[in-house]
């Protein structure tokens, strides 16, 4: 299990998982649907299975590319820690478990599960033909809040959709920052990314714009729901983390990309979700 956790970088689940909790508890606290521990567990399992499949498939598909890139040559498949066949089997098993778990939730989640799997797997192909690959990744992770809300309610609503767009723009923005590390390599291999297409300075400008859109998407829900001070505190913290990561990374200095990518965004999602849940708890008392 340790080698598979290494393959899928399980710790990176911290990006989308908090927004899945937001979607779940939004469904519980704003509708007549009761809280259910088994349903919450099913949502968490769906998140784990989908992300396992997506990340392992990315590693499987990119194994030859990773072997050429000095930054990624030590990844599990190029380094021989896990075989390509084992990774592919891991993908198939996780896809099957994801679909099976959605079957236990409700019909709409089950019917939409193949679409969700397609989106999260399709991302791995996109760098081969479009610089918009970062947005496709954002769409994949952006399914978390609306998917969790659907698990509880079985229907769509504007507020979880706004949170999905918040994740889409947020993830797309920080993935552009992460891709700065491979700008020259991507050009040499004819791979597509925003940095390789636009250059560092323009890529960072686009990333900033996407993060402005993300901030707007966590602010707009206040016009649809009655929030208290914890939520406003969460908005403030989330926005400050977006600003902070852009102060860490400059066109002439990308040495702090890892810090901006993992640490800053991890804090942003977790603290924002905690503030949302605290707000929901205080309103329910």
Average pLDDT of the chain to the nearest whole number: 93
pLDDT tens digits for 17-72? 999 999 999 999 999 999 999 999 999 999 999 999 999 999 999 999 999 999 99
Q: What is the mean pLDDT of residues 2-10?
A: 60
The percent of residues above 70 in pLDDT, for the chain, comes to 95
Helix axes 84-105, 37-61, angle to 10 degrees: 150
Q: What is the mean pLDDT of residues 203-215?
A: 98
pLDDT tens digits for 227-252? 999 999 999 999 999 999 999 999 99
CA 197 – CA 134 distance, rounded (Å):
12
| Per-residue model confidence (pLDDT) at position 188 | 94
| Per-residue model confidence (pLDDT) at position 15 | 81
Domain boundaries, the chain: 2-284
CATH code of the domain occupying 2-284 = 1.10.357.140
- pTM for the model: 0.94
């Amino acid at each position: 299990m340790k080698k598979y956790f290494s393959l899928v970088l399980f710790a990176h689940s911290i990006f989308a998982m908090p927004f899945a909790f937001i979607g779940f508890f939004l469904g519980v606290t704003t509708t007549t649907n009761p809280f259910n521990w088994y349903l919450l567990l099913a949502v968490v399992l769906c998140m784990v299975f989908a992300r396992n499949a997506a990340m392992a498939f990315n590693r499987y598909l990119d194994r030859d590319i990773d072997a050429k890139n000095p930054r990624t040559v030590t990844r599990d498949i190029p380094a021989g820690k896990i075989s390509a066949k084992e990774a592919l089997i891991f993908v198939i098993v996780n896809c099957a478990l994801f679909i099976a778990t959605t079957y236990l939730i409700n019909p709409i989640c089950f019917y939409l599960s193949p679409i969700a799997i397609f989106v999260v797997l399709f991302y791995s192909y996109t760098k081969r033909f479009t610089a918009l690959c970062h947005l496709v990744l954002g769409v994949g992770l952006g399914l978390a809040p609306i998917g969790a809300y659907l698990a509880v309610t079985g229907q769509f609503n504007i507020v979880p959709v706004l949170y999905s767009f918040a994740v889409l723009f947020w993830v797309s923005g920080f993935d552009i920052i992460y891709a700065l590390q491979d700008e020259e390599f991507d050009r040499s291999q004819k791979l597509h990314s925003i940095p390789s297409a636009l250059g560092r300075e323009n890529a960072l400008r686009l990333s900033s714009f996407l993060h402005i859109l993300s901030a707007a998407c966590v602010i707009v829900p206040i016009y649809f729901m009655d929030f208290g001070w914890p939520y406003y505190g969460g908005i403030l913290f989330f926005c400050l983390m977006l600003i902070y990561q852009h102060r860490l990374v400059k066109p002439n200095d990308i040495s702090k990309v890892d810090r901006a990518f993992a640490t800053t965004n991890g804090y942003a999602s977790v603290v924002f979700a905690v503030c949302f849940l605290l707000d929901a708890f205080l309103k329910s008392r």
